[in-house]
Amino acid sequence: MQISQTRQAGLPVHLRSGRRPVRGDVHLETLVPGWNDEEVPSIIDRAIHATVARATHGISPISVAVAYADWAMHLMSSPGRWQALIQKAVRKEFKLGAYAARCAATQFPLGQPCPPCIEPLPQDKRFRDPAWQNWPYNVVCQGFLLNQQWWHNAMTGISGVSAHHEHMASFVTRQLLDMVSPVNFIATNPEVLAAAAREGGKNFVRGAANFLEDLRREGNKEPPPGAEAFRPGKEVAVTPGQVVFRNRLIEVIQYSPKTAQVRAEPVLIVPAWIMKYYILDLSPHNSLVNYLVERGHTVFMISWRNPGADDRELGMDDYLWLGVFGACKVVQAIVPERKINAVGYCLGGTMLAVAAAYLTECGETPFNSMTLLAAQTDFSEAGELSLFIDESQIVYLENLMWQQGYLDTRQMAGAFQLLRSNDLIWSRMVHDYLLGQRAPMSDLMAWNADTTRMPYRMHSEYLRRLFLNNDLFAGRYKVDGKSVALSDIHVPVFAVATEADHVAPWHSVYKLNLVADTEVTFVLTSGGHNAGIISEPGHHKRRFRISRWEADERYVDPDRWYLETPTVEGSWWPVWAEWLRHNSSAQLEPPPPMGAPAKGYAAIAPAPGAYIHQR
Examine the pLDDT at 109 and tell me if it is beyond 60: no
Task: Give the pLDDT confidence score for residue 10 in this predicted structure.
Answer: 36
pLDDT in tens, 156-173: 999 999 999 999 999 899
Pick one of 3.40.50.10470, 3.40.50.1100, 3.40.50.720, 3.40.50.1820 as the CATH number of 241-380+470-613.
3.40.50.1820
The CA-based dihedral angle spanning residues 252, 256, 259, 263, taken in that order and rounded to the nearest 10 degrees: 20
Q: Which residues have C-beta within 8 Å of that of residue 542, sequence separation ≥ 6?
A: 525, 526, 527, 535, 569, 570, 571, 572
Please state, rounded to an integer, the average pLDDT across all residues of the chain. 88
Pairwise CA distance, residues 361 & 488, whole Å: 7
Is the separation of the CB atoms in 304 and 332 below 8 Å? no
Q: Which whole number is the average pLDDT over 299-314? A: 95
Neighbours of 600 (CB within 10 A): 12
Residues 136-166 as b/e (b if ≥16 CB within 10 A, e otherwise) read ebbbbbbbbbbebebbeebbeebeebeebbb
Q: Which whole number is the average pLDDT over 493-497? A: 97
Is the separation of the CB atoms in 92 and 146 below 8 Å? yes
Examine the pLDDT at 24 and tell me if it is beyond 50: no
Neighbours of 473 (CB within 10 A): 21
Q: What angle, rounded to 10 degrees, do the helices at 190-199 and 202-219 form?
A: 110
Task: Give the pLDDT confidence score for residue 29 in this predicted structure.
Answer: 42
Examine the pLDDT at 196 and tell me if it is beyond 70: yes
> In 3D, which of 376, 560, 391 has the Cα closest to residue 464?
391
Pairwise CA distance, residues 243 & 451, whole Å: 21
Residues 393-410 as b/e (b if ≥16 CB within 10 A, e otherwise) read bbbbbbbbbbbbbbbbbe
Which band of pLDDT confidence, cut at 50, 70 and 90, is reported for residue 2? very low
Task: Give the pLDDT confidence score for residue 416 in this predicted structure.
Answer: 66
Angle value at C-alpha 355, between 349 and 356, nearest 5 degrees: 90
Is the separation of the CB atoms in 21 and 349 below 8 Å? no
Pairwise CA distance, residues 378 & 470, whole Å: 7
Neighbours of 239 (CB within 10 A): 26
Is 346 among the catalytic positions? yes
Pairwise CA distance, residues 321 & 330, whole Å: 13
Examine the pLDDT at 12 and tell me if it is beyond 50: no
pLDDT in tens, 260-281: 999 999 999 999 998 999 999 9
Is the separation of the CB atoms in 181 and 143 below 8 Å? no
Is the separation of the CB atoms in 237 and 278 below 8 Å? yes
Pairwise CA distance, residues 529 & 496, whole Å: 10
The CA-based dihedral angle spanning residues 584, 277, 58, 465, taken in that order and rounded to the nearest 10 degrees: -30
pLDDT in tens, 429-454: 999 999 999 989 999 999 988 989 99
Is the separation of the CB atoms in 375 and 19 below 8 Å? no
Task: Give the pLDDT confidence score for residue 418 in this predicted structure.
Answer: 66
Examine the pLDDT at 183 and tell me if it is beyond 70: yes
Examine the pLDDT at 17 and tell me if it is beyond 50: no
Pairwise CA distance, residues 478 & 541, whole Å: 42
Pairwise CA distance, residues 468 & 461, whole Å: 10
In order of 52, 392, 445, 603, the CA distances from 442 in angstroms are 35, 37, 5, 31
Examine the pLDDT at 488 and tell me if it is beyond 90: yes
Q: Which whole number is the average pLDDT over 225-230? A: 93
Which band of pLDDT confidence, cut at 50, 70 and 90, is reported for residue 41? low
Which range among 3-17, 365-379, 380-394, 408-422 has the greatest average pLDDT? 365-379
Q: Which residues have C-beta within 8 Å of that of residue 14, sequence separation ≥ 6?
A: 313, 315, 457
Q: What is the pTM of this model?
A: 0.88
In order of 40, 256, 370, 405, 511, the CA distances from 551 in angstroms are 55, 36, 15, 43, 14
Distance of CA 102 to the CA centre of its chain: 46
Examine the pLDDT at 399 and tell me if it is beyond 90: no
Beta strands in 311-459 (DSSP E): 340-345, 367-373, 406-407, 454-455
Which band of pLDDT confidence, cut at 50, 70 and 90, is reported for residue 419? low
Which band of pLDDT confidence, cut at 50, 70 and 90, is reported for residue 32? very low
- List 114, 141, 328, 346, catalytic entry: 346
Examine the pLDDT at 39 and tell me if it is beyond 60: no
Examine the pLDDT at 54 and tell me if it is beyond 80: no
Distance of CA 250 to the CA centre of its chain: 20
Q: Please state the three-class secondary structure of 252-280 as a single string.
A: EEEECCCCCCEECCCEEEECCCCECHHHH
Which band of pLDDT confidence, cut at 50, 70 and 90, is reported for residue 293? very high
> In 3D, which of 255, 106, 124, 134 has the Cα closest to residue 193?
134
Pairwise CA distance, residues 592 & 330, whole Å: 13
SS3 53: helix
DSSP string, 92-107: HHHHHHHHHHHHHHH-
Q: Which whole number is the average pLDDT over 231-258? A: 97
pLDDT in tens, 309-362: 999 999 999 999 999 999 999 999 999 999 999 999 999 999 999 999 999 988
Examine the pLDDT at 40 and tell me if it is beyond 60: no
Q: Which residues have C-beta within 8 Å of that of residue 451, sequence separation ≥ 6?
A: 275, 409, 410, 412, 413
Give domain limits for the chain: 241-380+470-613
Instruction: Please name every residue paired with 367 in a beta bridge, in sequence order, or none if there are none.
Output: 340
Angle value at C-alpha 481, between 475 and 487, nearest 5 degrees: 30
Task: Give the pLDDT confidence score for residue 107 in this predicted structure.
Answer: 64
> In 3D, which of 614, 608, 613, 610 has the Cα closest to residue 301?
608
Pairwise CA distance, residues 279 & 530, whole Å: 8
Q: What's the half-sphere exposure (Cβ side, CA atoms, 13 Å) at 305?
A: 19
Pairwise CA distance, residues 424 & 252, whole Å: 33
Is the separation of the CB atoms in 387 and 381 below 8 Å? no
pLDDT in tens, 554-598: 899 999 999 999 999 999 999 999 999 999 888 889 999 999 999
Pairwise CA distance, residues 472 & 515, whole Å: 11
DSSP string, 164-232: HHHHHHHHHHHHHHHHT-GGGSGGG-HHHHHHHHHHTTHHHHHHHHHHHHHHHHHHTTPPPTTGGGS-B
